[in-house]
Amino acid sequence: MKIKDFHIASLQALKGVLINMGNYVPNTLEEQEAMLGLIGMKSSEDLFVQVPKGVRLNREFDIPSSKSEMEVSRIMTSMAEKNKIFKTIFRGAGAYRHYIPSIVKQITSKEEFITSYTPYQAEISQGVLQSIFEYQTMICELTGMDVSNASVYDGATAAAEAIIMSVERKRNKAIISETVDSQILETIKTYCKSLDIEVVVAGASNGVTDLANLEKLLDEETACLLLQQPNFYGQLEDAEKIGRLVAEKGAKYIISSNPISLGILKTPAEYGADIAVGEGQPFGIPLSFGGPYLGFMATKEKLMRKLPGRIVGETTDNQGRRAFVLTLQAREQHIRREKASSNICSNQALCAMTAAVYLDAMGERGLKQAAELSMAKAHYLARLLCEIDGFNIIYKGEFFNEFVTSSPINVDKLMKILEDRGILGGYPLANDKILWCATEVNTKEEIHKLIDILKEVAV
Amino acid sequence: MNNEILYTDTHEWVQFLDETTVRIGLTDFAQSELGDLVFVNLPEEGDELTAGETFADVESVKAVSDVYSPVTGEVSKVNEDLLDHPELINSDPMEAWLIEVENVSDKENMLTEEEYKKLIS
Amino acid sequence: MKLIFEKGSTGRGCDLLPPSDVPVINLEDKFKRQSKLNLPNVSETELSRHYTELMKKTFGVNDGFYPLGSCTMKYNPKINDDMAKLPGFTDIHPLQSEETTQGALEVMALAEEYLCEITGMDNMSFQPAAGAHGEFTGLQLIKAYHEKRGDSKRDKIIVPDSAHGTNPASAAMVGYKVINVPSTNEGYVDVDALRDAVGEDTAGFMLTNPNTLGLFEANILEITNIIHQAGGLNYYDGANLNAIMGIARPGDMGFDVVHLNLHKTFSTPHGGGGPGSGPVGCKLLLSDYLPSPRVIKGAEGSYHLSYDNPDSIGRVKAFYGNFLVVVRALTYILSLGKEGLKHASINAVLNANYMMHQLKDTYHIPFSDHCMHEFIISLEDLKKEKGVSALDVAKAMLDYGMHPPTMYFPLNVPEALMVEPTETESKETLDEAVRVYKKIYEEVTSNPELAHGYPRNTVIGRPDEVGAARNPVLRYVYNK
């Protein structure tokens, strides 16, 4: 869409007036001229004397002219309307639709939280700092770890940073299970390539990590093993056995979890993990076409100083009052510069706060409920699906809220049929397989509606 | 060379326990410049050191500073007390040794106490 | 103030989910969580009040003057937030079919088109989630470029000593060694030192322009040419773009790759530390290496996500980037348009010069002839004479309801306070700030002892940071 400049003629006529009301610059042209005079300049050109002629842009930008708020609203809204919102979603694969309580949306819309900066000035940032401290606590509770950071960009970069944390002088090999989300693996490869960390993929069989093969790969040069639990195919891995194999070789065990599942599933700590990471988007963050999301990272105390990113600590002020402050900053880039273990500066603070409020609202009872419901709906869906000819469960192990089936017809065709009926079906995999997902949001009616359509299609 | 303490121009003190074994720490001048120390990143026993290169760093709240080795050798002991109590370097810099090094071969030019006092005045 | 965990009681909570309408599954013990999960047990009333309390202890751009140098804390327009809340943007799954996400792809395509024009680049990726992430990505492009040419000896990135900490940290993360080049006494890159530093091992050079001292490197064409002559590429750190929109473009200054900070220049909110967005733009010679997938426009006029990028450096995160942040930035660019962006930069520079001019007789301003969108105050002399530091002066401002400037950056100016007012402040705010800064100067010089105790009127005084670092308490521990 080319945004039409149909009003440019009138714009130029109004140029003087429009600049005076110019988009978030409060000072009028007159006020600006007075300020220039006060500092001894004749025109705004004088402000840029340092910029040599050879680099000056001597034309206008080739982008549309400025617009009123009403027009901008219309343009952006019409773009939003070109996206189809599905009321019924059976797709996960790294982004999950869960119920977002109204209190979460309301609290995270507060101006103070939205417009504040990184809390470097502790005295006026106790609100943000305390919220992050509470978030860190809850991530530790969920994962069973001792210390969490204030968040990183997403689950994939969290996994990559965890791998970098595990590398030691004599241990330079990172093993990643084939059942980890391929987007995470690709991100890890990009990060590891430049640091000469060897990335080895441990093969799978029957939709879970092949233990015999893994045992062969683990050795004294292995820095870590990364496992996703539940894995990309929704299957629950034998994470305890894998943990023992990893510990035997002295490597670090990294588990990437779906955080909702931690309401009922064993924690990474219970499996013997050293580092827990994951994608926190299910905690109150909408699907958002992929971002901004939330990477969480938590670890044992012994690895605390290797944890990247910001961390909030509790202390007291000069009058003994409880105070929160960014701490252990000497790990970070603004102090260590090229010796920092990570370059990360910004985190996903507002998303971390979203997760914190979500967990506050849900409590352990609500989180457990969301997890149980997600699992129940997915199992119900699976049972009904495999009663239809052509939809067979491919991986037969226990699963949380995702599972893979075959398809009686071409998957692209199938998805289009569902789309036309307002349903976002499971995620198409290679060879006409489908990765289905259900959460607490899917009702029994929705599931039956899907099943009825599929029955027609399968015939 | 018996237990004499020498100094470097990068503000470490070096005590020769015998011909080829030294203890290294930070001077009083260093600790006052660094301010309250919050953490010390020490090497491990067995690590090889090269004269003139860094072997450790010390963290204050807002800064990290490298510590340089004046000798080539092998780390034989690490002062583990400092891991939990880095403030010992501030309170007692001449007692709070960081590491012991054995098999010392190469040495950088070091200063006597007199020469060091002159340097920092 | 109590933590949320210290409020509420067992049994309290919110009624958010219905009971199950399908049979509940019994998990095998081997998968079942054994350790107790402790999360807050609070009613919605208590939760709502808790966050209202926290909100009152938070200071945002919406609360007052926020002149953080190098952060560009400009006003965050509310229309941006409203557009980012449209269900057509928030409720779409990243793995929906292209036909059902044409609007989202169009947002990214338009943002790419406009930002390339603004920066003088040819292509752009929105995958990087923040500035540092953008630097990491941009440096990866440079690395891929040299590797493709079979030039493997180039293992060094040159960085000015005044650079933001993320520059050398990002270079190290990409496996490069960092060479620091000094600045002259006037605050500019030492061109002679730069000439000495380049060689066959130079992969590239990172620079912000205006530089981190708020000065425009007038020798920029010479600087970027030196790097090109040596066979390296030039990386533009876009943190200071707010000074030059419509005036000059990095692409015309000899830069081959840039990153932008949408949460700085393009008004998206900081959110207490994120999420931001750090898109990477590049000239054609690097486009093939951009992260995959890329948004392309088909001949038939519709948009696609192309995964056919064999030379791509790969992914730097999952999905496509911080999409809702891009929505905000695009809304902003559409609002300001070609006139408004230039107008913003003009006023950013005007406001900084206006403040600096009125403060230079009070404070020591090392580079006071002229500045771009930010200027530096140095408290070095005051520290020597009266023991009052940049920290003391900054903390004093808190008592006046103003956020302090950036402290202790850049590193090559001792006791620095870097002030960036931005264009969205009114003359009255700037005048009041000048008045307060002058008053503080008088207070700290006449009573230096008191200065160490500032602030006095904030909800907490100076926190014990040494204690926090020596004995880290990083979470609340439930009493068993």
Tens-digit pLDDT profile for residues A363-421 = 999 999 999 999 999 999 999 999 999 999 999 999 999 999 999 999 999 999 999 99
CATH of C338-466, one of 3.60.15.10, 3.30.540.10, 3.40.50.300, 3.90.1150.10: 3.90.1150.10
- By DSSP bridging, strand B64-68 and strand B73-78 are unpaired
- By DSSP bridging, strand C156-160 and strand C202-207 are parallel
pLDDT category at C165 given cuts 50, 70, 90 is confident
Which domains are assigned to chain B? Answer: 5-120 (2.40.50.100)
Interface test with B, best of C411, C470, C473, C474 (most B CBs within 10 A): C470
Instruction: Please name every residue paired with C477 in a beta bridge, in sequence order, or none if there are none.
Output: none
Question: Distance, in angstroms, between B29 CA and closest chain A CA?
Answer: 21
| CB-based contact B64 A335, cutoff 8 Å | yes
The beta strands (E) that lie in C385-437 are given as 406-407, 416-419
Question: Distance, in angstroms, between C357 CA and closest chain A CA?
Answer: 6
Residue intervals in chain C for CATH 3.90.1150.10: 338-466
Task: Tell me how many degrees the CA angle C465-A124-C366 measures, rounded to the nearest 5.
Answer: 80
Q: Residues of chain C whose C-beta is under 8 A from some C-beta in B? A: 408, 465-466, 469-470
| CB-based contact A335 B62, cutoff 8 Å | yes
Residue intervals in chain C for CATH 3.40.640.10: 78-334
Which domains are assigned to chain A? Answer: 8-80 (no CATH), 88-95+364-458 (3.90.1150.10), 102-357 (3.40.640.10)
Q: Cα dist. C258→A106, A413, C117, C131, C321 in Å? A: 36, 42, 13, 10, 16
Count of CB pairs separated by less than 8 Å, A with C? 670
Q: What is the rounded average pLDDT of the residues C423-451?
A: 95
Check: CB of residue C374 under 8 Å from CB of residue C244.
no
pLDDT category at B106 given cuts 50, 70, 90 is confident
Give partners of C (≥3 CB pairs < 8 A).
A, B
Q: What is the rounded average pLDDT of the residues C223-247?
A: 97
pLDDT at A22: 65
Question: Which positions in chain B touch A330 (Cβ < 8 Å)?
Answer: 38-39, 59-64
| CB-based contact C466 B86, cutoff 8 Å | no
Question: Distance, in angstroms, between B29 CA and closest chain C CA?
Answer: 18
DSSP for residue C286: H
Tell me which CATH code domain C78-334 carries: 3.40.640.10
With H, G, I as helix, E, B as strand and everything else as coil, classify residue C405.
Answer: coil
Start-end of H helices in C264-365: 284-287, 323-359
Q: Cα dist. A458→A388, A390, A455, C42, C455 in Å? A: 7, 7, 5, 48, 72
- In chain B, DSSP finds a helix count (H) and a strand count (E) of 4, 9
| CB-based contact A290 C318, cutoff 8 Å | yes
DSSP for residue C256: S
pTM flag (> 0.95): no
In this predicted model, what pLDDT tens digit does every residue of C82-117 receive, in sequence order? 999 999 999 999 999 999 999 999 999 999 999 999
Residue of chain A whose alpha carbon sits nearest to that of C11: A365
Q: Cα dist. A302→A28, A136, A275, A305 in Å? A: 58, 17, 11, 8
pLDDT category at C396 given cuts 50, 70, 90 is very high
Residue of chain B whose alpha carbon sits nearest to that of C391: B62
Amino acid identity of residue A310, one-letter, is R
Per-residue pLDDT of chain A in tens (459 residues, 90 and over written 9): 334 343 333 333 344 444 445 679 999 888 999 999 999 998 889 999 999 999 999 999 999 999 999 999 999 999 999 999 999 999 999 999 999 999 999 999 999 999 999 888 999 999 999 999 999 999 999 999 999 999 999 999 999 999 999 998 889 999 999 999 999 999 999 999 988 899 999 999 999 999 999 999 999 999 999 999 999 999 999 999 999 999 999 999 999 999 999 999 999 999 999 999 999 999 999 999 999 999 999 999 999 989 998 899 999 999 999 999 999 876 776 777 777 667 777 678 999 999 999 999 999 999 999 999 999 999 999 999 999 999 999 999 999 999 999 999 999 999 999 999 999 999 999 999 999 999 999 999 999 999 999 999 887
Residues 6+ apart with CB under 8 A from A351: A151, A280, A285, A292, A293, A294, C271, C274, C275
pLDDT at B2: 60
With H, G, I as helix, E, B as strand and everything else as coil, classify residue A223.
Answer: strand
Question: Distance, in angstroms, between C463 CA and closest chain B CA?
Answer: 12
Please state the ipTM of this predicted complex.
0.95
Check: CB of residue C334 under 8 Å from CB of residue A72.
yes
Check: CB of residue A209 under 8 Å from CB of residue A202.
yes
- Find, among B63, B70, B58, the residue nearest to B10 by Cα: B70
> Residue A60 — φ and ψ, nearest 5°?
-80, 160
Residues 6+ apart with CB under 8 A from C408: B62, C390, C391, C415, C416
- By DSSP bridging, strand B54-60 and strand B37-41 are antiparallel
